[in-house]
Structure 1
Amino acid sequence: MKFHIAINLERMDDTTDMLAMRDHTLEMVKMADKAGFEVAWAAEHHALEMTIAPNPFQLMTWWADHTTDIRVGCGVANASYWHPINLAGEAAMVDLLSGGRLELGLGSGAYQREFDRMRPGLDQKDSHKYMQEMLPLVRELWKGDVEHQGENWQFPKATSCPKPVQADVPMWVAARSPATFDYAVANDCNVMCWPLTMPMAEAEKYKALLSEAIEKAGGNWNGTFACMRHTAVYANEEDRAATMGSIRNVLGKFGNLMMKKGDVVNGFPENVPLEELEGNVRVDPTMLEENLMFGSPETVIEKLRAYETLGVDAFIYYASMGLDMEVQKRSLQLFIDHVMPAFEKEMSLAS
């Protein structure tokens, strides 16, 4: 099993210093680079302080400039917010400036609030059409001149400038529905999934959908299956309590966005009362500690073994949950020092 890290520039309120938050994010990525993590993932979100990422390609270029080996990926760019020529060029520029370390992830977005501002009139449930048109078109633009007359974009002959330095840029799709798994496999893309706060059964469901998609495609798929979870490794009760408080706080804000309850003021989502959260946004402390990648190093190793047995090729350590910066760093260092060594043989074989 390989390891990736996903981290955001995040502020839960306006008391967090922007520069300190910026420097912390880079320090975490540098720690991951030194430890042998394979990819650092940057998100795309707009007008939200809890995920400050209006252009993931800027973050990826910044991280690449301060690291040596770790690859940089957008997890994920929302296809409907971009023009294909623009996205192809921005992504290829990251590949050029990073010396060939780009991983390009595309998705359909999550929050209707963002669509109402970035793509007015588009319903989130219809946004997959943009991703499905965008992905093969970007590949064609990287090859040379393309004239396109599609459903969502039309333009005369053009190409991407620059071109990627990699001959074959790894492409990723964020998948949840059966149709998206089918599309990812049919288009030779890697797959990332996020079970949110749901039990292990949710990850098992995604693996089953992937297996079904591979079978439909004749069994021909050599991609990577990655699974992301909020992660916190702790060795004392103080850090455990801080983790549980932070995840419940951030889920209250996440519930605001997913359930369209509450307001967002100056970029800060109001918290939805925890008792009103339901579905994928569940906040019972016992359930959270069981379902998420929380616990002592020994507990986290045991949980990761279950994902490895399931067939997860890469685990994405999702560091961002409004947790105190020093607690975040302690967690990552515990993961590096005590969890990763248990998988060194697997990591070596996967390289």
Structure 2
Amino acid sequence: MATVFQNTGRIVSDRQIYLNELALADMAEPLGFESIWSVEHHFTDYTMCPDVVQFLSYMAGRTRNLKLGSMVVVLPWHDPMRVAEQISMLDQLSGGRMILGLGRGAGKVEFDGFRLDMGDSRELFVEYGEALLKGLESGVMEYAGKHYRQPATAIRPAPFKSFRGRTYAAAVSPESARIMAKLGVGLLIIPQKPWREVEKELREYNTLYREINGTNAPQPISAGWVFVDESEERARDMAMRYIGGYYRTVLDHYQFAGAHMKNQRGYEYYAKMNEKLAVYGDQKAIEFFADLQVYGTPEQVHGKILEIHRQTGNSGFVGVFSYAGMPHEEAARNVRLFARTVMPELQKFDAGAPIDRATPLPDHRFGHRFAIAAE
């Protein structure tokens, strides 16, 4: 499960949001979840977790076996040497429980706040990612690139366990997926585009990964916004209200409809989203996103998660249960019902078994054929 610390509309204080989300996070291990995740964002109500490694370090001390996932550390906003130290330290504190997720970011408000040019983000991500991943394997950070130059310097405490096979990166654009294959990392999938498009890009990524690395790519991890209720009608209503409400915050935070996205260097894929938003409007985009997520009765939620696996071959599913101003009591009920009714069935499932893709999913399950995405 993931906690994202949203304060939509500022109905309550930031302090109360933290109390609520930390209470949910404390439920993860007792309820039987295998991992806890959070995200990195800055400066707005969208997600108030500016340091995901700090949050995971806190959770490392409050848990015994729970794995700790970053979804994601946005590399262009950090000094890679400091990131390497933080990651190695968390892995030491937790006994090797970290799952490392990386990304390059797409929020203009965040790049502006850090006084960075968004146009450099792809090159920064590649250089920082190469330096970081090599450093975590060798214990020494050393790199000579266009943007990043680091003389050979030891990471202390030294990494004691390889991050290969437990490093993932968020990739929305096809260009980013190719970068991840070259870096040798798995993919973290956030459902935001038609599943057949995701499936096509995964095939291309898997082929390129094998060509470059000589081995099969790690199974991806998929995340999704979850609302489960015994009533199908209430689940649908609440999903449109809260999952739809979450996507409104995405549009506000990332400014996908903004003029800057039309010609932003390194974000050419997002210019297409800008055009589609102009054609379809916000409401269609919101409905499309909500229908890609996981909501319904326990049986429907279970089925949708297995459908996602059939499309992506993912090894795990990360659920977000509290978002868009959802009352804390509702979020806690959402988590508990999922843990009691859906999770036991999912944990019986072998995610590594061969996948039957013979029967295509009907198009109407996944809304209109346009993609609006965040990275």
Computed over aligned residues only, the root mean square deviation of the Cα atoms, in angstroms, reads 2.9
Q: Deviation per CA, 1:163-215, whole angstroms, max 9, x where unpaired?
A: 2332446211111233332332333312111122x443343234333333345
Q: Which of 34, 49, 52 in structure 2 is aligned with 1:53?
A: 49
Instruction: Give the distance between the partners of 2:298 and 2:256, measured in 1 at CA.
Output: 36
TM-score of the two chains, using structure 2 as the length reference? 0.78
Paired residue type of 2:216: W
Across the two proteins, how many residue pairs are aligned to each other?
A: 331
Q: Does 1:81 align with 2:77?
A: yes
1:195 and 1:202 in contact (8 A); partners too: no
Instruction: Report the counterpart of residue 10 of structure 1 in structure 2.
Output: 6
Distance change (3 Å), C-alpha of 1:256 and 1:20: closer
Q: What amino acid is aligned across from residue 138 of structure 1 in structure 2?
A: L
Report if aligned partners of 1:43, 1:74 keep a CA contact under 8 Å in 2: yes
The residue type equivalent to 1:318 in the other structure is V
1:313 corresponding residue in structure 2: 315
For residues 25-72 of structure 1, the C-alpha deviation after alignment (integer angstroms, 9 at most, x for no partner) is 223223322343333222111101220011111111111211221111
**Residue from 113, 116, 120 that aligns with 2:112:** 116
In 2, Cα distance between equivalents of 1:218 and 1:90: 27
Does structure 2 conserve the Cα–Cα contact (< 8 Å) formed by 1:188 and 1:221? Answer: no
Q: How far did 1:277 drift? A: 7.3
Letter in 2 for 1:165: F
How far apart in 1 are the matches of 2:300 and 2:10? 35
Contact 1:181 1:213 in 2 (8 A): no
Change (3 A) 1:136 1:70: same
Query: 2:9 aligns to what SS in structure 1?
Result: coil
Summarize the Cα distance change of 1:147–1:185 in structure 2 as closer, same or farther, 3 Å threshold: closer
Amino acid at match of 1:342: E
**Deviation of residue 87 (structure 1)?**
0.7
Indicate the SS of the match to 1:173.
Answer: strand
| C-alpha distance 328-281 of structure 1, shift in aligned 2 (>3 A) | farther
Shift of 1:252: 2.2
Paired position in structure 1 for 2:88 = 92
- 1:132-180 deviation per Cα after TM superposition (whole angstroms, max 9, x unaligned): 1122312333324444322111233312222233244621111123333
C-alpha distance in 2 between matches for 1:30 and 1:283:
36
> For 2:27 and 2:156, how far apart are their aligned partners in 1?
32
Q: Aligned in 2, Cα 1:326/1:280: closer, same or farther, shift over 3 Å?
A: farther
Q: Aligned pair in 2 of structure 1 residues 347, 31: CA closer, same or farther (>3 Å)?
A: farther
> Secondary structure at the residue paired with 1:16?
coil
Change (3 A) 1:105 1:218: closer
Residue 85 of structure 1, CA deviation:
0.8
User: Which amino acid in 2 is paired with 1:343?
Assistant: L
Structure 1 runs of 4+ off > 4 angstroms? Answer: 237-240, 276-289, 347-350
Whether the aligned pair in 2 keeps the contact of 1:83 and 1:153 (CA below 8 Å) is no
SS at match of 1:165: coil
Q: CA deviation at 1:100?
A: 1.4
Distance 1:207 1:122, change over 3 A: closer
State how 1:1-351 maps to structure 2 within 5 Å. 5-123=1-119, 126-142=120-136, 143-168=138-163, 170-196=166-192, 198-217=193-212, 220-236=215-231, 237-238=233-234, 240-259=236-255, 283=284, 287=288, 290-310=291-311, 311-322=313-324, 323-346=326-349
Whole-angstrom distance in 1 between the partners of 2:213 and 2:35: 29
- 8 A Cα contact 2:239 2:290, kept in partner: no
Contact 2:101 2:169 in 1 (8 A): yes
Give the secondary-structure state (helix, strand or coil) at the position aligned to 1:254: helix
Q: Which moved more, 1:83-92 or 1:32-41?
A: 32-41
Cα distance in 2 between the residues matched to 1:202 and 1:210 = 12
Distance between the aligned counterparts of 1:48 and 1:278, measured in 2? 27
Q: Which range moves more in the overlay, 201-210 or 68-77?
A: 201-210
User: Gapped runs of 5+ residues in structure 1?
Assistant: 263-275
What SS does the corresponding residue of 1:231 show, helix, strand or coil?
strand
In structure 1, give the amino acid aligned to 2:21.
Answer: T
- CA change 1:331–1:201 in 2 (3 A) is farther
Q: Which runs of 5+ in 2 are unaligned?
A: 259-276, 354-375
1:193/1:206 contact within 8 Å kept:
no
